[in-house]
Chains A and B, each alone.
Chain A
């Protein structure tokens, strides 16, 4: 990817921060003493300017902000007002031309976190607001501005997979004059049509239309037709893919550089098993009767279609009924003496329009419902079924019985999907729900895929999907051509100088944005496709080597934020993080509903609770926080799939470390709140605050400070992060690849590793602070750890060359190298 920086956004990293305080009518101003708040911020932050504006979000206010930005060369802005969830986007949009892009503006909700929910003097509320605003200022000071990433679009669009949607997609692309390569199975249009019923039976009516599409594609100069071997691998990212097809016969492997990929994948059909009497001659499936019609013309005897999908526990009865109707109609239209009936479960409705009902009567095609509670039985020449009307068991005779096919996403299609980087489960169709995040968080909302391998569908739907996928490809191709295709601002980036290609991030990434790069010994995941990444950030929080950064929303920023807040907290105050989809949203709603709760709780919002690197929480304790509450979504409802569960593991680890330090484990807690239940949020906060009151403040002598520093350092330790990262999930989860087999054994291992690394960190920190030579005794006394543990760690550290051991009078002395 080529990153370009031709935009007016200032990329200077020298922060000039403006703070705008909103009065919000009477909702903030009289309750919070904004004058006092202004004074405090002017005196105790590096903010370039602090201004009160009645409504910063309205045109007059925005006009004022633009003026202030221009006059003071402001390049970061904090608005202290209401919910960033709702208002941030407007500020970003309105202030873009003033030089502020996403990430450079922060909105602090002092209305719903302070003014509406706390009773207190205006001065007291101003003091609380000041702490929250100061921490936002600190966060923006730590922002490392990245230029806007322009996504280049190199090469044509490729349509692979061989599905029939290929032609619909190609037609859409050629109409927009986008160069396209299609990989097809046969060269001849007639052959495609002849074999179509294998995957789409009963579609004769559409053959003419399809033929026209194919001819248009065939004649277009924008479409290049290739016949290739098996798809081998796909590397690269949106706009710049390398597609390799396997060698075939004399042909060497073929490699194509393409800008976008559309996968046209058709599902396959299998015959019913013998329990329905299937023999392929008298009892057959839709595809087989179609083949028979192709070979011998329409049959002349008595044919019964039995829509038996519900009996095989498949939900595609409607689709099968439609297919059966199409085939039945074709038979009757071509052979009057044939007798055709369609037997259907009365739990479904015949998929006929009014005109089709008339047609059915005209052609004498019987639609016979049966009672779905009793399974019909096949005998030779008869099917018995229960009439739902009078509950009499009836028989219907047949010369040929046609059953619904079993639909499944073909093996080859699944293989292609896997190569394209989709997580595929055996036997499941490929369609996925859209990501549960806002559209602006993803560059591409869905993989470009069309066909019945996504989800069983008829030909018309497949062609529609082909058109739609192509429309998306056209859209990005045209944007790129105009030089306006940008990746979202808050996506992960990999620092390749730190990345070792371990692949942990890929395993825990939920959006599929981590992409493999060709490297020594094969492909290693060490790059991110910015058009796929949703900015969930749990991968960055897990990376053992801090090689992943969520740009414009980094761990460094969050650390700066918590540090600023934790330092300003008094002994009876505590803090927390709320995720935008759960805790923070519920807190917004508590403010809007005017619920009251403790003014000694400070909430910081986060995009996802999984974005929080454990080091951020370690930093909070180190800088003065006495308790940290993390409020995420309800269990199993994490919008980034696993952020919440990863946080559970991280919290568990921090609890273990707090015990090692000798602090109550409850000082770090994970909670869940549904955004629609502000009352629950208030209860959660009140309970945590009263727990903190019971525990009292952490006694912070020099010893404790050193230990909390060691906790922070341990949380940044690569080995600890590795052991944690390798098992970031709750023990009871089974959906995860290689689920945790022995939770207790893992827990013991994690504890051992933590203890060892914590003591090692303590030793190194201790020796670094006082540069001299120590005896074992001294170290043990100072650190108050077990002698054997310290000795073991020292031995290891000596072995690794971090500590030097010297002997004087046969007594070992230790010193840091």
Chain B
């Protein structure tokens, strides 16, 4: 193995959807695929923040030697000799399951419905607890607030089925700088709907004598 690495200057060779590609060792499968114009659907992935593999929609089938498994491409690193298939029946089946669960989790989201329809999922067999929910708890808003903006104004509150994106004590947070980055990265309309709860009345926090 080490000989091959030296020969190829730190690059590894793999195959994605039948297309042989080269990649650096620290790249992920998703990044490599996108660089070669191969589309993999994602929801909780954004280029500006660390991937966290939360939504599992980016699953692909990875074949190495004579075994294969389903992996999340946004976290799975490339490897010499790996064979990736991005839309096999197995992969699409996993995605359909995920989308069906998401339809129950955030039934009010247009974006999720459209994506589900594209995979032929039009209804869900799971129980819908909150018919107006748009949030799929992908955590992009939480990560962008921490990693890009650097203020941590929002976070996950409660646990299990009650988990939600919120501010400490569920009151408008003074740490919020009202930049709207969370709204920008939100894959659905969920953050747009709750931004006002997070930022509160901005005019009360600006102006002379307020910000010194």
Q: Which of A26, A86, A637, A736 contacts B148 (CB 8 A)?
A: A86
Q: Please give the distance in Å from A251's CB to the nearest CB on chain B.
A: 33
Known contacts A54-B34, A60-B31, A432-B211; decide if A675 and B180 are in contact (CB<8 Å).
yes
A639 near B178 (CB under 8 angstroms)? yes
A641 near B211 (CB under 8 angstroms)? yes
Q: Please give the distance in Å from A665's CB to the nearest CB on chain B.
A: 28
Please measure, in the bound complex, the distance between the C-alpha atom of A736 and the C-alpha atom of B209, giving whole angstroms. 9
Q: Which of A54, A435, A436, A735 contacts B208 (CB 8 A)?
A: A735
Closest residue on chain A to residue B201 by CB atoms = A637
Known contacts A433-B174, A639-B178; decide if A57 and B39 are in contact (CB<8 Å).
no
Q: Please give the distance in Å from B94's CB to the nearest CB on chain A.
A: 21
Residues on B with C-beta less than 8 A from A581 are: 178-180
Q: Which of A55, A85, A90, A428 contacts B184 (CB 8 A)?
A: A85
Known contacts A59-B27, A89-B48; decide if A637 and B39 are in contact (CB<8 Å).
no
B206 near A60 (CB under 8 angstroms)? no
Known contacts A26-B39, A86-B185, A423-B209; decide if A58 and B47 are in contact (CB<8 Å).
yes
Determine whether A361 belongs to the interface, using a CB cutoff of 8 Å to chain B.
Answer: no
Please measure, in the bound complex, the distance between the C-alpha atom of A581 and the C-alpha atom of B184, giving whole angstroms. 12
Known contacts A90-B48, A434-B174, A581-B178; decide if A641 and B31 are in contact (CB<8 Å).
no
Please measure, in the bound complex, the distance between the C-alpha atom of A636 and the C-alpha atom of B202, giving whole angstroms. 8
Residues on A with C-beta less than 8 A from B208 are: 423, 510, 641-642, 735-737
Residue-wise, chain A 101-127 has the 8 Å CB interface mask toward B (1 for contact) of 000000000000000000000000000
Please measure, in the bound complex, the distance between the C-alpha atom of A642 and the C-alpha atom of B212, giving whole angstroms. 13
Determine whether A585 belongs to the interface, using a CB cutoff of 8 Å to chain B.
Answer: yes
Residues on A with C-beta less than 8 A from B151 are: 438-439
Residues of A in contact (CB 8 Å), total: 54
Q: Please give the distance in Å from B26's CB to the nearest CB on chain A.
A: 7
Q: Please give the distance in Å from A539's CB to the nearest CB on chain B.
A: 14
A585 near B209 (CB under 8 angstroms)? no
Residues on B with C-beta less than 8 A from A422 are: 212
Determine whether B144 belongs to the interface, using a CB cutoff of 8 Å to chain A.
Answer: yes
Please measure, in the bound complex, the distance between the C-alpha atom of A407 and the C-alpha atom of B192, giving whole angstroms. 41
Kindly name the residue among B174, B179, B195, B206 whose own CB sees the greatest number of chain A CB atoms within 10 A: B206
Residues on A with C-beta less than 8 A from B5 are: none
Q: Please give the distance in Å from B61's CB to the nearest CB on chain A.
A: 21
Q: Please give the distance in Å from A203's CB to the nearest CB on chain B.
A: 27
Q: Which of A58, A87, A633, A637 contacts B35 (CB 8 A)?
A: A58
Determine whether A561 belongs to the interface, using a CB cutoff of 8 Å to chain B.
Answer: no
Closest residue on chain A to residue B149 by CB atoms = A438
Q: Which of A83, A90, A432, A676 contacts B212 (CB 8 A)?
A: A432
A435 near B184 (CB under 8 angstroms)? no
Q: Please give the distance in Å from A593's CB to the nearest CB on chain B.
A: 8
Determine whether B32 belongs to the interface, using a CB cutoff of 8 Å to chain A.
Answer: yes
Residues on A with C-beta less than 8 A from B180 are: 85, 581, 585, 589, 675-676
Residues on A with C-beta less than 8 A from B31 are: 55, 58-60
Q: Please give the distance in Å from B20's CB to the nearest CB on chain A.
A: 15
Residues on A with C-beta less than 8 A from B157 are: none
Residues on A with C-beta less than 8 A from B47 are: 55, 57-58, 87, 90
Determine whether A592 belongs to the interface, using a CB cutoff of 8 Å to chain B.
Answer: yes
Chain A stretch 49-83: residues in CB contact (< 8 A) with chain B: 54-55, 57-61, 63, 83
Q: Which of B26, B28, B183 contacts A675 (CB 8 A)?
A: B183
Q: Which of A26, A60, A511, A633 contacts B32 (CB 8 A)?
A: A60
B181 near A641 (CB under 8 angstroms)? no
Known contacts A585-B179, A735-B208; decide if A25 and B34 are in contact (CB<8 Å).
yes
Determine whether B24 belongs to the interface, using a CB cutoff of 8 Å to chain A.
Answer: yes
A61 near B210 (CB under 8 angstroms)? no
Q: Which of A60, A585, A641 contacts B27 (CB 8 A)?
A: A60
Determine whether B19 belongs to the interface, using a CB cutoff of 8 Å to chain A.
Answer: no
Residue-wise, chain A 411-451 has the 8 Å CB interface mask toward B (1 for contact) of 00000000000110100100011111111100000010000
Chain A stretch 9-48: residues in CB contact (< 8 A) with chain B: 23, 25-26
Chain A stretch 484-517: residues in CB contact (< 8 A) with chain B: 510-512
Residue-wise, chain A 387-408 has the 8 Å CB interface mask toward B (1 for contact) of 0000000000000000000000
Residues on B with C-beta less than 8 A from A428 are: 209
Determine whether B23 belongs to the interface, using a CB cutoff of 8 Å to chain A.
Answer: yes
Q: Which of B144, B174, B184, B195 contacts A592 (CB 8 A)?
A: B184
Spell out A's residues near B (CB within 8 Å): 23, 25-26, 54-55, 57-61, 63, 83, 85-87, 89-90, 422-423, 425, 428, 432-440, 447, 510-512, 580-581, 585, 588-589, 592, 633-639, 641-642, 675-676, 735-737
Spell out B's residues near A (CB within 8 Å): 23-24, 26-28, 31-32, 34-37, 39, 46-48, 144, 148-151, 174-175, 177-181, 183-185, 192, 195-196, 202-203, 205-212
- Given A428-B209, A589-B192, A636-B206, 7 extra CB contacts under 8 A: A59-B26, A63-B24, A423-B212, A439-B150, A439-B151, A589-B183, A675-B180
Minimum-distance CB pairs A-B, first 9? A60-B35, A636-B203, A675-B180, A57-B47, A58-B31, A637-B202, A439-B150, A432-B212, A59-B27
- Sample (18) of A-B pairs whose CB atoms are under 8 Å apart: A23-B37, A54-B37, A85-B184, A86-B46, A433-B210, A435-B177, A436-B177, A438-B151, A511-B212, A512-B212, A581-B179, A585-B184, A588-B184, A589-B184, A637-B178, A641-B210, A641-B211, A676-B196
